[in-house]
Structure 1
Amino acid sequence: MSPNSHCFPTGQTLLTVQQDIKAKLKHKYQHISEGIGHHGNQSLFKDIYTDLYITEGGSGGLNNEHEVRQIEMASKKLTTQETPIKCNDIFKPLPGQDKPIRTVLTKGIAGVGKTVSVQKVILDWAEGKANQDVHFMFPLPFRDLNLKKDQYSLMQLLSHYFPELKEIDSIEDGETKTVFIFDGLDECRLPLDLTNDEKCCDVTMPTSVDVLLTNLIKGILLPSALLWITTRPAAANQIPPECVDQVTEVRGFNDPQKEVYFRKKITDQNLANEIIKYMKTSRSLHIMCHIPVFCWISATVLEMMLKETEKDEVPNTLTQMYSHFMLIQIIVKNRKYNKATETSPKELSQSDKEMILKLAKLAFQQLQKGNLIFYEEDLRECGLDVTEASEYSALCTEIFKEESGLDDEEKKSIHENGHLDLFLRFLLGLSLESNQNLLRGLLTQTGSTTRSNKKTVERTVRYLSDKIDEESSPERIINLFHCLNELGSNSLVEDMQTSLRSGTLSETRLKPDQCSALAYLLLMSEEVLEEFDLKTYSTSEEGYQRLLPVVKTCKRALICISNRLYTLFRLAGCKLTYESCETLASALQTPNSPLRELDLSYNDLGDRGVELLCVGLTSPLCNIQTLVLGQCGLTEGCCSDLASVLSSPNSQLKQLQLRDNDLQNSGVTLLVQVCPLLPSSLGQCGLTEGCCSDLASVLSSPNSQLKQLELRDNDLQDSGVTLLSAGLEDPDCKIHTLG
């Protein structure tokens, strides 16, 4: 049957089917489960839903950054000047966009609210509150589609989930506006090969689910349909950029939204205010609350504890929060399934201990494997029964989460979420006797006394402090400070905090470990730094290296620490070298970093350093607009790397300064041939009249955006200046300042 021979439904039939599907989706999505999977307490979605912070997300390219670090950057992201997007408006073009949007890719780390945003849009449509120009919305989670091994036509697949569609032959009439919602691309186990040439343009032609999806995404099948795909950042690159019209990112809760959530979740408003006030006293917990699932954990724990316990027992570290959460969920589980009445069990039952240890084994194994999703066979390997395990699914929300798909009869999938960094913090936190007492009966008793336990903690603190001295990775050092925080021993950070507040840091030569503590403080701060000037602090090259991660959280970074004046008087021998550029390149690839200007002048980076730096500059996540590389020991050898940045479609670079480098004519010619964005500062770069014709052609190019040009201390001669004048006199020349 050809596409044009379908029997399209009458308006009345279409309306009836639409109303039936809306009623079905409203019934399914009007409640939200919090707690033990679909066995948990059902709350009305409208009573618990809190708006999430969603913004334009740039590129959908690969993002391998550690998700825990993305959580810690959340507070920085939410304070930058960006325009939030309402979830019901994701298909509306942003200001300046002139083409319609067909496919939206929404990124977000685990637990940040992607699926809840999907639920909000579907429910608002089903209840007639938004997007009423849409005839049909079809939510098709990837975890369900993974299980479809047979061949289907698109109409057969949709009818499998929505039997109401059997009343009509096709939705392909050119006037029916349809939205497909594919939630959880990171969970997809289908090949999803968009380079595959196998075509399907008929909604009644049976083929594999993979082919149906790839043809929908490429616009071959139902080109008028709208697609919304959600994913964790690491999987976003599975969809080629040319198939995506808009990328958005769910950032979680900003600070006002966190407070709204707590006030909705906690019915006693005095208690809600007390919880909000308490969470603000712990920076590490407050940061985690940008993630909605952690807000739920915190609300669950603090609602019970602030009612029933002394204030000094209330958790203030991740270890304590997770431990209390686990105990509370055991109480809830025992009340629900075992009809127990205790509010604070003196001892875990043997079955509880066995189950928790099996879950711990499952979680750790999957952490080691780096799995995003695991199935029933993985549970069986750890001695877990799916039915029994589902009762415990809320015990470890960060690592174990039961999901309910559209097909309730299918095998359910269990999701892993977590990283070894968080695991290490939790494990070290358990070495404190106060935390061990929380998990009485679960941890193996070693017969250690309070005194020996204290010695163990002291040895651990010394070991971590030694690792901070020895470690070369600034990012790993930051996690070691988190570990010390879990042990209640962050004296170095506290000392640096005192010095920072008193304004005495600039008067002291900082040791490397002090620089790491300062970096930790600045990274944990709620504020976005307007400017980070590295020469504010006096330290060694290793110390400066440890401060470099801070550049990702500021708008303007000045790292010209070894100019002649400072080399002479204060910073002799403290130049940054090419080895620092790998750390900087990583910082440049931080999602949604506010960093726009980077000054690396007077550092001995060399061509090797620029090569490493360009890896970050060509990333779609990099937002650098001004780069200053004056007197960095560069030659024409680095110009091919810089040219690749200037010609990259991902580059945001608008101004490049290269003064006092031995680029020579060949280097500058290479730069100007690939891009009309000529470096604005080329003073003392070993240039002669031989490059002036190339410079003149750029100055007269209608594509050139260059407004100022510095060429001092170059041997251009009169003939070179004559050639330049021809370009400067051209009507298309935009130069305002010439030096």
Structure 2
Amino acid sequence: FYEFLLVSPHSTKTFVLAKYGNPALLNDIYTELYITEGGTGGISDEHEVRHIERAFNKPAIQETAIKYSDIFTTLHGKVTQIKTVLTQGIAGIGKTVTVQKFILDWEEGKENQGVNFIFPLAFRDLNLIKDKEFSLTQLIHYFLPEFKEFGITHLLNSKVLFIFDGLDECRLPLDFKNNEICSDVTKTAPLDMLLTNLMKGNLFPPALIWITSRPAAATQIPPECVDRVTEIRGFNDPQKDEYFTKRFSDEDLAKRIITHVKSSRSLYIMCHIPVFCWISATVLERLFVEEHSGEIPKTLTEMYTHFLIFQTSLKNEKYLKKQETEPLKSLELDKEFVLKLGKLAFNNLETGNLIFYEEDLKEIGIDVNEASVYSGICTEVFRQEIGLYEGKVYCFVHLSVQEYLAALHKFLSNTDTGLLEKTVNEAICSKNGHLDLYLRFLLGLSVEYSQQLLKGLPLQRISCDIAEIKQYIYKKIHENFSPEKSIYLFHCLNELNDSSVVKRIQNYLNSQNLTEKEISPSEWSALAFVLLMSAEELEVLELRNCMLRDEGLQRMLPVVQVSRTALCIGDYNTSVSLKYFLFLFRLSFCFLTERCCEALASTLSSDSNLRVLDLSNNDLQDSGVKLLSAGLGNQQCKLDTLRLSTCRLTEGGCASLASALCSNPSHLIELDLSYNHPGDSGVKLLSDLLQDPTCKLETLRLKMCGLTERCCEALASVLTSSSLLLRELDLSDNDLQDSGVELLSPGLGNKYCKLDILRSVLGNRHCCTSLASALRSNPCSHLRELDLSYNNPGDSGVKLLSDLLQDPTCKLEILQCGSVQSKKTNVQYRMQLVCWRTQDSVECVFV
């Protein structure tokens, strides 16, 4: 990382303070990060590894990508001025580097030249003066004495950007609610009051504000103080390759490292974080260059263990001779210092502190002067940073490094034989998963390979039976935990180098032997884990005749949330191409009940990729649909197709659906309620929904729903709505009778009717007259397909409709009529007449 402070490319004098490293080098190695507008739909305090894994599996769809240099640029079509931006991102994802690149581009005259002054004020520096009072002018002069030559009037008449980097490191209360209002830039006030008033716009209203933060800390900023939220997602797959390629001048070495990282999904997922790419590059470069004869690390624990070992060997040069003459004492110092760092890491694990000051180190017994001996550890593992304004702060290079050292401390200093089982239970019970990675490291350190690597630290360590802890984790997988916890336990097994259940599931997949099988809940979790971790993207996963049931669906929900595959479970036996159904999850005939709907609603309310949900032929009933509707009504729900055929819905279910879709109508375009019992009153509720200008429904299927002529008047009214987007309406196998179709016909004759496909029921030939008349009277009609199967229009009715096809203004391409009688050897056949339009004529055939 290259820290610098740059002020005003437009002034006669450009200040460069506390500048470390070469800006040209930053330009050379900087790899574009993926940044989106809007974040992930709310602030979460869950463990950041979960963010990583979800982001890795989540393709970029319907998201607004934004370039780092454009975060204050208003999007096309919007007029709202962007004054305050909050940029979120997990630890090590590249927030600070993005800030530095933004400033460097500005200083070099490449971007944002409308800004006159940039003041980067990192919270780690502000913490050092948190108890002092300043005016805004004094605060600027405190960090930038050279700025005193510019008067306050010059500042107020300039376009100024304040950058507050690292909100998660802030040790100020930031009391937005109770701090007094301060609007005078020359008035002295406590630092906390000064900052909150600046962020609220009370102090220096024209100033631009940019705040960066880890997700859990971002809640400290009131939403009304923020004009735009962006999220740094780290590296996508091509950017990972680009990073390693830029990192090494040796092209063959870069390719070997990329190939190895991709061979381990757990490593490849973590490479979403730029810092982990750097750790991996550091370890693998040394192993490959030195032609390492042992195993190349494939798990997180192995990678971090190698990283620590390499860094402990990088002592300050002036101590190397002393190390050669006093090796035992040197080793003892190594061990002692690593243990102290581990204790510091462990003690701060609960709070998630990443930033420490000298007093924090003294409390743990670390001598700051002695620490400088360990140049490798203190520059790459636990580093001293002078900050932008000369204040000393210390930090682990990444939260995961802190968690690894915390696990190492616990492993090397604890003799409790039940520790691992106890930690498994604590991790499972943790709501935000703050012990997830810590446990994975603790388990990974217990295997023999890690023991061999750590033989230089001869301390008392946990005595554990690996086979016993594996069995304990298997037992926990069988218990009814959340789906994320079940999958997490497979990650734990992976650190123990156990993949037996996963391999069994992979064999099932390879042999397509999952049909006609009762799959256990633990096997469903294993399947979800395999799909999430697989390097291969399945086009179709056929699980026909598998009894998914509510518990199985619960275990598969993480796949639903991030699914890129077409997952077909149930009675569908046709292959579905991935390119056509990218976000498809079919759950037809899966023995599901209302119990599964609450979990599905939760998934729909999250930042899910799910677009098509087929729950047909499951006993959901109104109570289940009511639970499901809570998810449909959430603004995060992006579902565009919902199929609830044969789910025992009545008017009550329709009421829940209509209410939900009114509150979030922007995405659903297809709704299938066939073979239910909504009744005419239920259809009236749906008709009201269709007339809502924000409703986007294009397909509504109500086949065999017990409807009568009473629903047709409401539907006809819908068809005359100028805002209607409905293109397909299926009313087949309902007892509409002649009177119902006659009520429906005026809607079809209206110029606003945009129907392409209509499937309906006719009583006899008299209805054909009104229907043909309506379509002939509407030259604007879009109707291309009319299905009147299994009716009795008679020859004269069919003749009326056939004549309609000959009308040059008619756009009908397919006409299906039923119950046509044809005599052959005195036997009557019920036949289907299908007519379709070719380029030059109309073709008809009986089938």
Partner Cα distance (2:176, 2:718) in 1:
39
Question: What's 1:28 paired with?
Answer: 19
User: Is 1:489 matched up with 2:498?
Assistant: yes
Tell me the TM-score normalized by structure 1.
Answer: 0.80
Which residue of 303, 312, 316 corresponds with 2:285?
303
Amino acid paired to 1:466:
K
Residue correspondence of structure 1 range 100-249 to structure 2 within 5 A: 100-146=81-127, 147-170=129-152, 176-192=158-174, 199-239=181-221, 243-249=225-231
RMSD: 4.4
Deviation at 1:521, TM superposition (A): 1.4
Residue correspondence of structure 1 range 619-638 to structure 2 within 5 A: 621-637=636-652
Residues 721 and 642 of structure 1: is their aligned pair in 2 closer, same or farther, counting only changes over 3 Å?
Answer: same
> 201-210 vs 625-634, which deviates more?
201-210
Residues 717 and 437 of structure 1: is their aligned pair in 2 closer, same or farther, counting only changes over 3 Å?
Answer: same
Question: What's 1:38 paired with?
Answer: none
Deviation at 1:524, TM superposition (A): 0.9
Deviation at 1:116, TM superposition (A): 0.9
Partner Cα distance (1:142, 1:552) in 2:
35
SS of corresponding position for 2:31: coil
Amino acid paired to 2:594:
Y
Q: Is the 8 A contact 1:107 1:247 kept in 2?
A: yes
Residue correspondence of structure 1 range 258-273 to structure 2 within 5 A: 258-273=240-255
Which residue of 420, 442, 457 corresponds with 2:466?
457
Q: Is the 8 A contact 1:54 1:84 kept in 2?
A: yes
Residues 160 and 614 of structure 1: is their aligned pair in 2 closer, same or farther, counting only changes over 3 Å?
Answer: farther
Partner Cα distance (1:212, 1:726) in 2:
67
Question: What's 1:522 paired with?
Answer: 531
Question: What's 2:69 paired with?
Answer: 88
SS of corresponding position for 1:112: coil
Deviation at 1:325, TM superposition (A): 0.9
User: Is 1:646 matched up with 2:661?
Assistant: yes
Deviation at 1:297, TM superposition (A): 1.0
Question: What's 1:10 paired with?
Answer: none
Deviation at 1:237, TM superposition (A): 4.8
Unaligned runs of 5+ in 2: 1-6, 404-433, 575-586, 760-847
SS of corresponding position for 1:55: strand
> 352-361 vs 104-113, which deviates more?
352-361
Partner Cα distance (1:447, 1:369) in 2:
25
Tell me the TM-score normalized by structure 2.
Answer: 0.71
Question: What's 1:288 paired with?
Answer: 270
Which residue of 602, 606, 612 corresponds with 2:617?
602
Partner Cα distance (2:704, 2:372) in 1:
70
Deviation at 1:157, TM superposition (A): 2.6
Partner Cα distance (2:454, 2:163) in 1:
42
More strand by share: 2
Residues 574 and 627 of structure 1: is their aligned pair in 2 closer, same or farther, counting only changes over 3 Å?
Answer: closer
Partner Cα distance (1:427, 1:447) in 2:
10
Deviations 1:473-509, CA, capped at 9 Å, x for gaps = 2211212221222222212222333443444444765
SS of corresponding position for 2:212: strand
Q: Is the 8 A contact 2:36 2:231 kept in 1?
A: yes
Question: What's 2:438 paired with?
Answer: 423
Which residue of 43, 56, 62 corresponds with 1:75?
56
User: Is 1:277 matched up with 2:259?
Assistant: yes
User: Is 1:440 matched up with 2:455?
Assistant: yes
Partner Cα distance (1:408, 1:19) in 2:
25
Amino acid paired to 1:626:
T
Unaligned runs of 5+ in 1: 1-13, 33-42, 566-570
Partner Cα distance (2:372, 2:681) in 1:
67
Question: What's 1:708 paired with?
Answer: 728
Amino acid paired to 2:505:
M
- Greater relative contact order, per chain length (Cα 8 Å cut-off, separation 6+): 1
Residues 541 and 648 of structure 1: is their aligned pair in 2 closer, same or farther, counting only changes over 3 Å?
Answer: closer
Deviation at 1:546, TM superposition (A): 2.4
Partner Cα distance (2:16, 2:563) in 1:
48
Question: What's 1:4 paired with?
Answer: none
Question: What's 2:592 paired with?
Answer: 576
Q: Is the 8 A contact 2:515 2:544 kept in 1?
A: no
Residues 396 and 337 of structure 1: is their aligned pair in 2 closer, same or farther, counting only changes over 3 Å?
Answer: closer
Question: What's 2:339 paired with?
Answer: 357
Partner Cα distance (1:660, 1:128) in 2:
66
Question: What's 2:562 paired with?
Answer: 553
Amino acid paired to 1:548:
L
> 116-125 vs 168-177, which deviates more?
168-177
Deviation at 1:211, TM superposition (A): 4.8
Deviation at 1:520, TM superposition (A): 1.2
Partner Cα distance (1:627, 1:722) in 2:
30
Partner Cα distance (2:355, 2:257) in 1:
33
Partner Cα distance (2:634, 2:347) in 1:
32
Q: Is the 8 A contact 1:506 1:538 kept in 2?
A: no
Partner Cα distance (2:481, 2:392) in 1:
48
Deviation at 1:732, TM superposition (A): 4.7
Q: Is the 8 A contact 2:314 2:376 kept in 1?
A: no
Residues 732 and 167 of structure 1: is their aligned pair in 2 closer, same or farther, counting only changes over 3 Å?
Answer: farther
Deviation at 1:161, TM superposition (A): 2.4
Amino acid paired to 2:727:
K
The structure with more radius of gyration: 2
Partner Cα distance (2:750, 2:155) in 1:
55
Deviations 1:582-628, CA, capped at 9 Å, x for gaps = 4434544554x433222222223345544554555455554323333
Deviation at 1:320, TM superposition (A): 0.9
